[in-house]
A and B are shown apart, each in its own frame.
Chain A
Amino acid sequence: MTDQDTAVPVLRATGLVKTHRAARGGAEVRAVRGVDLGVGRGDFVAVTGPSGAGKSTLLHLLAGLRRPDAGEIHLDGRRVDTLREADWAVLRRRRIGIVFQTGNLVSDLTVADNIELPALLAGHSARAARERREELLTDLGLADRADAAPAALSGGERQRAALARALVNDPDLLFADEPTGSLDSRSAREVLALLTRHHAKGRTIVLVTHDARVAGSADRVVSLFDGLITDDARVDDTPPARGIRDVLDLGG
């Protein structure tokens, strides 16, 4: 094992449970049924599984967008699942970047404003935010689309802009929920390449996808089925020793 595994995982979840309840006595959907997961610093983890496996719900739980029914989440050893929503929001500003399937750029804001918004929220000056945005857009090849409205962008451009927005505060953790789900194969390849590049710079990435090829870019693949982890494998030459347990044991 590398020293990466011996370090305290940057993100550790134990016994996560989440049940969706439809309004007015509708059916219950047990989306996540007791998931233990540890993510080491610098990991690129792909969470994969068929539709309805609970991938997105798990990601939402880890990013603090939903509150788990049971279980614990620790970020850098600090328990965070008990945080109030406002504290989660503050935490997300600096530590967590999120990319959704459809980009979810705020429709009324220009691309530039969308990207600068989290920087301003994190307390950076307007000038610093602008400089960082320019840097990112240039890096992602969108420098000339800064003043465009999100609706005027192609799907690939939208995802790249969303990625820029997620990266603007240099977060430790980047969550991506089906970032290539609505893209053609060329745009998908571009976005994946960007993710890989940022992973190479040392960023920790958790990516949710149902596409095996996308999952292949990650260095660790966690398979989810009916809300439970069925497999946890590294995509390098070394086969996993004891699946998820070694991470948990090390972490615990």
Chain B
Amino acid sequence: MSDIYFNESIILLDVEAETREEVLTTIGDNLVNKHLVQPSFVPAIIEREKEFPTGLPTAGVSVAIPHTDVEHVIQKNISVAILKNEVDFGVMGDDSEQVPVKIIFMLAMDEAHSQLSLLQKLMQIFQDENELRNLVNQTDKKAIKRILEEKLNFQELEGGNK
């Protein structure tokens, strides 16, 4: 199992977009350029988002966790984007509601049913209003990387969790 790729190069700040398709394309194209995902990843993630929206209304800053099937992924990674202006995403599990999303965690996983503790830690961040506000107010990618590395504890997870 390869390690999770995560560094400043897949943290995007001040992303300007009008629609969720634009947001997903911007983040996805960056991953394609870095050969972390197949070019097919971008249309796949847009389609998946239409069918199964991933917007999560939280107590503070709403998030979205777009993801798609494992075959489009070359090396598993978590990409983060903070949007300049909020963009509407569909609410997960609800076909009528939209939520204005400010921060995106794009999950590119290469194996189904894996990474439980990483995902649990990520969801814990979503439940922490102060931490989310802290994240979206950062202006330095290094700071975001540091915060998330600490919260998600990548080192401890490596290999430890199927």
A binds B: no
Chain B residues in the interface with A (C-beta under 8 A): none
Chain A residues in the interface with B (C-beta under 8 A): none
